[in-house]
Chains A and B, each alone.
Chain A
Amino acid sequence: MTLEWRNASKAYGKKRAVNDFSLEVPKGELLVLVGPSGCGKTTSLRMINRLVDPSSGKILVDGRDVSEIPVTELRRHIGYVIQQVGLFPHMNVAENIGAVPRLLKWNKVKIQARVRELLDLVGLPADDYSEAWPAHLSGGEAQRVGVARALAADPPILLMDEPFGAVDPLTREVLQREFLRIRSTLKKTVVFVTHDLDEAIRLGDCIAVMNGGRLVAAAAPGELLLNANPFIRDFTGEDRALRRLARLSVGDTIGQTTPIAPGGYGDSGTPTGLIRTDATLKEALSLMLEAGESSLNAVSPSGRHMGKLTMENLLENAAGIGVS
């Protein structure tokens, strides 16, 4: 389903939490809303499932104005994950996940099967977790259950408000990786709110940067890091070139720039360092600096020589030349 904010604004008294916000999310795409605290991300997100009604403008889901859809009906078909998770403490994990299907009056057998399927999807063994109480879950486990609960009725749209904000950095990375895996199997339109730029770059198909209730820019991660807007340059920080490199893998780059030539290495001599094709360019740069070399041998995870990665490649990519 497509999603669209059309000149949406929200005023609380005199304060404009969201100001003339317009943006479209194509079907199946993941939009990340990012920006400093208090810039209106949550408010914009909650307009979609009508937890906030816009003061002016409108929100369209598949071209339909959400204010014309019965509110409970709308919400039952939009998954919603929040930072504090909000599991129901008096229901066990299975009951929590089955909450929306119960609202939709699915039969028991179907709910039970769905719960098992979802626990499996989020990486929690159903036999160990179905009957567990929320009070006994770790932060990471609770958030997995939160995601499973949001996905329970297979909603075409998923809203996530800083879902991984409250877990430790290590768990956050695991959850991000798993979320990417889950997303690749279920093509859903997702709006993901975060204040963490790295998370935005990692997950987003498109990143919308907000400031003071307004949309500053919306672009693919690679382009965003090249944006000349002073606020965005400031927001992305002086190490934005490194962030760009961190997004790209060695494999993608040598495929793009150097034809695989199993024979010779050209004229810059034989590099001694090795880098795996699934490493990021940022890691490659670090290796080059460490070894004092300006090129590395790229090898596939199975050990095959794939080509050569040079400092020029890195410079081009960091500057955004020849990249989408």
Chain B
Amino acid sequence: MRLIERERIDVVPLTAVLLASVSFFGPFAALKENRVVDGQIIRGFELLGGGLGAGVLILGALTLVVALSGGGGKTRNLVYSFAGVACLWITAVLLVRAGALLGQAGEAPRVSPAIGFWGLPGASYVLIDHSRRQAPRWRSLMLTVCALVPVCLIFSDGRGAAISVFQEWLERQDRFLDELIVHVRLFVFAILGATVFGLPLGIIASKNKRIERLVIAFVDVVQTIPSMALFGLLMAPLAALSRAFPLLRSLGLRGIGAAPALIALTLYALLPIARNAIVGIASVPLPALEAGRGMGMSRRQLFWRIKWPLALPYILTGLKTASVQAVGNAAVAALIGAGGLGIMIFQGLGQAAPDLILLGVLPLILMAVLVNRGWELVIRRAVSPGLLGEVL
């Protein structure tokens, strides 16, 4: 036990190496003649061949050794970054080679991703993210560029066209863009709405225990209703409302479509936002408040100069959680006719076409990751460095 502690085995990159090996030796993709047939499985190491394959193995072994032994932090990170970038490049090379193997037969021949196709970029993300933690800003930027260049190259010169998801995309480019915009709009407005209601709700609740219990009880109950059920629950009353008041109807309020989706998403986002505001304001140390009051701050000054900045890390974390959740929840909105990326997913499910499902899921994941990163950036910017040590 003590030995392990002293040597400090790096568990995260170890996992990444494991994932990369499974991906490299397992099935990388299936070559198919069209959307539904099973196709022929190909493996990563079969595609690479002698020289490159050996290089990959050596790099993998090196990473493994470094992760297992306690070397200097800098060299370690360098190896991890390099291995991470390499993983992504390998994926690109494998993809191109798989595309070249593809016959011209069939109506829409394609390379359908299997575990290896996902595992290698996954390992790459883990390695780069891990090595980035202590790296200076410019290096983390360079890493990202190094990792993204092969992806862009492949798609820009058309060699990525063989990938099944890409083919699905080619078939419905315009529709895809529309749904993407609808999706973004849904979740952005839901978060805006939830912020406008949730923040003041949380702030008011933190002034009074009774209101706090009420608010918490309400948002908790909303959260326990499954999203699909909530959409369903909202349909009936909203339909009734729009029938009773033509004005509302002309404003777009109906039992199906954007209105109930937006309302449901907003209600969902309320919990993390309101609750974190309450927790944040409760976290403000009493002596700081006492000192502020004692030095002659007015109520308003006390709020804006002390309570708000001290609660901010919690509030922004709440917004982050709510946003990431809303990106996912907005997919369900397609069920009640609100559109969004959910359309592709549910169509794909209906047609038993995994490639189409992926066309909905992949941008969804990307969006969630970007939103998460974006908020983390905002938190780093907006929160006083005096507080970052505890919160992040």
Chain A residues engaging chain B, CB cutoff 8 angstroms: 49, 51, 71-77, 80, 82, 84-92, 99-100, 103, 133-135, 146, 149-150
Contact = CB atoms under 8 A, between A and B. Distances in A.
A2 B3 CA distance: 68
Contact of A76 (B296, B310, B390): B296
A76 B293 CA distance: 10
B296 A75 contact: yes
Given A85-B287, A86-B285, A135-B390, A80 B384 contact: no
B387 to A, nearest CB: 5
A73 B383 CA distance: 30
B51 interface: no
Interface in B292-329: 292-298, 301, 305-306, 309-310
Contacts of A89: 285, 288, 310, 384, 386-387
Q: Chain B binding site: helix, strand, loop or mixed by DSSP?
A: helix
A74 B295 CA distance: 9
Contacts of B386: 89-92, 133-135
B101 interface: no
Contacts of B296: 71-77, 100, 103
B300 to A, nearest CB: 11
A100 B296 CA distance: 8
Contacts of A80: 291, 294-295
Interface in B138-196: none
A82 B296 CA distance: 15
Contacts of A72: 296-298
Contacts of B385: 133
Contacts of B136: none
Contacts of B306: 88
A131 to B, nearest CB: 10
B5 interface: no
A100 B309 contact: no
B298 A88 contact: no
Nearest to B389: A135
A75 B287 contact: no
Given A72-B297, A72-B298, A86 B291 contact: yes
Contact of A84 (B287, B301, B383, B387): B287
Contact of A103 (B295, B384, B390): B295
25 contacts: A51-B293, A73-B296, A74-B296, A75-B295, A76-B295, A77-B296, A80-B291, A80-B294, A82-B287, A82-B294, A84-B290, A85-B287, A86-B287, A86-B288, A86-B290, A88-B288, A88-B292, A89-B288, A89-B310, A90-B387, A99-B295, A103-B297, A133-B389, A135-B389, A135-B390
Contacts of A146: 291
Contacts of A84: 285-287, 290
A90 B310 contact: yes
B170 to A, nearest CB: 51
Most chain A beta carbons < 10 A, residue from B295, B301, B305 = B295
A91 B297 contact: no
A99 B384 CA distance: 16
Contacts of A87: 288, 291
Contacts of B305: 88
Contacts of A71: 296
